[in-house]
Structure 1
Amino acid sequence: MKRLKNSSYTRRLFRAVFVILGKLPKKKNLVVFESFHAKQFSDNPRAIYEYMKEHYPRHNLLWSVDKSAVKLFEEFRLPYIQRFTLKWFWTFPRAQYWVNNVRLPRWMPKPKGTVYLQTWHGTPLKKLGLDIEEVHMPNTETGSYKKNFILESEKWDYLISPNPYSTEIFKRAFHYNGKVIESGYPRNDVLTNYSATLISNLKKELGIAEEKKIMLYAPTWRDNEFYQKGKYKFEFQFDLQNWKKEFGDEWVLLSRMHYLVAENFDFSAYEGMVYDVSSYPDIRDLYLASDLLITDYSSVFFDYAILNRPVIFFMYDLENYRDQLRGFYIDIENDAPGPIVQTEQELFQAIHVLKDSNIQLDAKFTEFKNRFSSLEDGHATQRVVKAFLK
């Protein structure tokens, strides 16, 4: 069944049905949302959904959901249709609006009259789309990868950008000539509109004692370390037993892997100290609950800096990642809003230095925020919705 579903014949059939049903009259005011291949209730689509639910009651808001995520959406009591079912084919191509944060399947054309809002999902550090010189992902040829980006971006009516820096890159890397909503990211509104009570409640939800401080470890994936397409390997490069000895009395560690990382980590030996939060619905809550971020090349640090909390860059494979795999848009070694470390010893030393510091006194951190976060004022969602609904 899986081979049949993924066959070229099935994709051609899906496309034909999609095209035919897309010619039917639009379902006025129907907005269909997807986040990370219809598997999450998160990110910019979630922020837009929550805002529209409160402020646009006349619009019909619906989530397109992968079979694997149905339980999650039922737990949140969200209105949804399961992807690639008869009901989905009858509904999705007839929606007046699409809201998505990644690429859609190539076979899925945008019907005439549908407004497609592409929110994307991060401020770019590592090179994207057409800017990648050589793609190292499994079963992916560089030319077809870039061609697929061009075919996808031709569908977009609006593209959200968090800052002028991203606007310039997105236009070139996605070969996009449409309308850009340079607004800040909707998902980041909560990072300027939160309370101490919210943070306390998040700790209780995670099962973490109120007095504990929280480190969030959120690394990205490596293009050339994989099991198969879409499933990537990851190995910890610092010893958790050593971390426990150094910080376990005062801190807990939240481990948040990228959604493409396929590893299942066993943290049972560190119960109450190390938590696997890779499947937690939305990273925004983890930002708010944590006191310090450890990352590498993930774009999470652009968002986390809004909170004025310390960031440490554990880039143990910096030279290889920078020179061989992706390359960067900014001079990360000079512009990073926190120290870059490459060994466990350097990482632990940096944590000790920063854990009680006031990062807002750091001139480099302030310069970074002024460059990348000037639009993050808590009203990005409002600007986006007004722009794409007009």
Structure 2
Amino acid sequence: MLKQMKRLKIVQRLTRLFFQASATLPVKKKQVMFESYSGKQYSCNPRAIYEYLKAEETDYELIWSVNRDYVKEFQERNIPYIKRLSLRWFFELARSRYWVTNSRMPNWLNKPSHTIYLQTWHGTPLKKLAADMEDVRMPGTNREQYVRNFHEETANWDYLISPNPYSTEIFKRAFQFHKEMLETGYPRNDQLVNGNTEQTIVRIKKELEIPLDKKVILYAPTWRDHHNAGPGSYHFDLKLDLERCKEQLGDDYVVLMRLHSFITKAPDFSEHNGFVFDVTKNQDITELYLISDLLITDYSSVFFDFAILKRPIIFFTYDLGEYRDDIRGFYFSLEKHAPGPIVKTTDECIQAIERAFKENDERKYEAFYNKFCLLDDGKATSRVVQNVFKAGE
């Protein structure tokens, strides 16, 4: 273990030197490097910005940073990419004029002075972030180190996208961000406004081989900081009894399982084929929102985005007290403000699903929508591009 750590430090030192040397070469003024969830997906705000720039037929050179285990989708879509952490990646990253990512870059890389770093982030926060966290339960770090590393990274950001005024206030404080905040709404959510059509929904369902004659439930829980087997290795303990759900709901519903990108050890859903579809790795979650009639989640920020569609949301929060009080902490009371029922058992969840299309607290939902979703008008990407790329020309 000690030898591995020493070897890693040597590699980091050498690649840092290579990166710094590459940064002294002429900058590629029209090159944009995109990355989503540390290179694991073609998704989220970076995807929306990439597709907007591509559709505009600009002269930007658009390249994706991709984890070597996730290149297949980029190959199939014929999307230009570079394998993350390869020598070419360091070389091109150092010379790029723009970086666009929704998660943090490696801490040991210093952004070149010629690079404009657009941090899109990836959600409206319910869970406390960075400096607002009272304790850090992630392996391999402690609160002081985690916050210090986080703030070293945020010092590199030139722009940060915020989905609403609520998030702007939190981001500035928790991230210690003092540069330009773009309170534009999230580019990824433009599709929920502009692409919410029957034609689009049917197309996506056919691509995923989802039955057209059944309602679709999307189950998208978050990760648990303390459910791990070491740094970067998180597991998910499935508490929803899928067999029970199938018995009660299987005639009318199917379930899409979407686990968090941090989960490296996932449950096996194969015994529920035909009722449960595992869509964790192969689809942008925005497209899953569009085809889903109902969302089940817990503390994930997905419910802020799904609320744009004004469809039912159920909160399956079997560990609410522990997660809120001991693990992460919340910015507001989920019990008071959640735009849907809170349940803690499978039977309660099934009952909530059966009532979902008959009962709805419209006033509570509307208040939630007005606070968090008003900027989601289908034009967020355009506002971001105007502020970052048009301004930089």
With normalisation by structure 1, the TM-score equals 0.96
2:99 aligned counterpart, secondary structure: strand
Q: What does residue 141 of structure 1 align with?
A: 142
Q: Secondary structure at the match of 1:150?
A: helix
1:228 corresponds in structure 2 to 230
Q: Given the alignment of the two structures, is residue 306 of structure 1 paired with residue 319 of structure 2, yes or no? A: no
Deviations 1:253-294 (A, max 9, x none): 011100111233322222111111111231011101110000
Pairing 1:3-152 to 2, within 5 Å after superposition? 3=4, 7-152=8-153
* Aligned AA (1:373): C
Aligned-partner SS, 2:114: coil
Alignment match, 2:184: 183
- Structure 1's 256 and 88: CA in aligned 2 closer, same or farther, altered over 3 A? same
Q: What is the RMSD computed on CA atoms of the aligned residues?
A: 1.5
Q: 1:187 to 1:5 in 2, by over 3 A?
A: farther
The alpha carbon displacement at 1:87 in A equals 2.2
Query: For residues 159 and 104 of structure 2, what CA distance do their matches in structure 1 show?
Result: 14
Q: State the SS of the aligned residue for 1:192.
A: helix
1:376 and 2:376 aligned:
yes
Shift in CA distance, 6/261, structure 1 to aligned 2, threshold 3 Å: farther
Aligned to 2:296: 294
- Secondary structure of the residue aligned to 1:215 is strand
User: Which amino acid in the other structure matches residue 381 of structure 1?
Assistant: T
Alignment partners' CA distance in 2, 1:84 and 1:327: 34
Q: Which letter maps to 2:187?
A: P
Offset, 1:184: 0.3
* Distance of 1:367 and 1:142 partners within structure 2: 34
- 2:198 — aligned with what? 196
Q: Say which of 233, 249, 259 aligns to 1:247.
A: 249
Q: 1:100 to 1:269 in 2, by over 3 A?
A: same
Verify: 1:387 aligned to 2:387, yes or no.
yes
Q: Write the distance in 2 (CA, Å) between the matches of 1:266 and 1:87.
A: 36
What does 1:206-355 correspond to in 2, within 5 Å?
A: 206-354=208-356
**CA distance in structure 2 between the partners assigned to 1:48 and 1:357 by the alignment:** 38
Identity across aligned pairs (percent)? 51
TM-superposed deviation, 1:358: 7.0
Residues 115-135 of structure 1 deviation map (CA, whole Å, 9 limit, x = unaligned): 000000000000001111110
Q: Is the 8 A contact 2:296 2:316 kept in 1?
A: yes
CA deviation vs aligned residue, 1:140-190 (integer Å, no higher than 9, x gap): 111110000110000000000000000000011101101000000000000
Counterpart-to-counterpart distance in 1, 2:91 and 2:134: 40
Equivalent position amino acid for 1:291 in 2: D
Q: Is the 8 A contact 2:236 2:267 kept in 1?
A: no
- Deviation per CA, 1:348-383: give whole Å up to 9, x if none: 1111110x2375x61000000000001000000000
Counterpart of 1:119, as a letter, is T
User: Which is further off, 297-306 or 278-287?
Assistant: 278-287
In structure 2, distance between residues paired with 1:337 and 1:250: 24
Answer whether contact 2:298 2:315 (CA < 8 A) is retained: yes
- Greater CA drift, 366-375 or 71-80: 71-80
1:308-348 Cα distance to aligned partner (Å, 9 max, x none): 10000000000000100011011211010001111122111
Q: Provide the rounded CA distance (Å) in 2 between the counterparts of 1:56 and 1:364.
A: 43
Q: Give unmatched runs, 5+ long, in structure 1.
A: none
For 1:7 and 1:210, how far apart are their aligned partners in 2? Answer: 50
Give, in whole Å, the separation in 2 of the partners of 1:47 and 1:87: 25
Partner SS, residue 323 of structure 2: helix
Alpha-carbon separation, structure 2, partners of 1:5 and 1:122: 36
Q: Deviations over 1:87-108 (max 9, x none)?
A: 2232111001000110100111
The secondary structure found in structure 2 opposite 1:238 is: coil
- Give the whole-Å Cα distance in 2 for the aligned partners of 1:5 and 1:294: 44
Distance 2:84 2:225 in 1: 27
Alpha-carbon contact 1:31-1:61 (below 8 Å) kept: yes
Question: Residue type matched to 1:290 in 2?
Answer: S
TM-score using structure 2 length? 0.96
Aligned residues between the structures: 387
Q: Deviations over 1:60-80 (max 9, x none)?
A: 111111211222210111011
SS of the aligned residue for 1:222 comes to coil
Q: Is the 8 A contact 2:33 2:64 kept in 1?
A: yes
Is the partner of 1:81 in helix, strand or coil? Answer: strand
Aligned partners of 1:247, 1:365: CA distance in 2, in Å? 25
The separation in 1 between residues aligned to 2:386 and 2:128, in whole angstroms, is 30
Alpha-carbon separation, structure 2, partners of 1:17 and 1:365: 52
Structure 1 range deviating more: 160-169 or 48-57: 48-57
User: Residues of 1 paired with 2:216 and 2:127: CA distance?
Assistant: 27
Q: Quote how far apart the aligned CAs of 1:6 are.
A: 6.4
What residue number does 1:172 align with? 173
* CA distance in 1 between partners of 2:266 and 2:226 (Å): 19
Deviates more, 1:191-200 or 1:14-23: 14-23
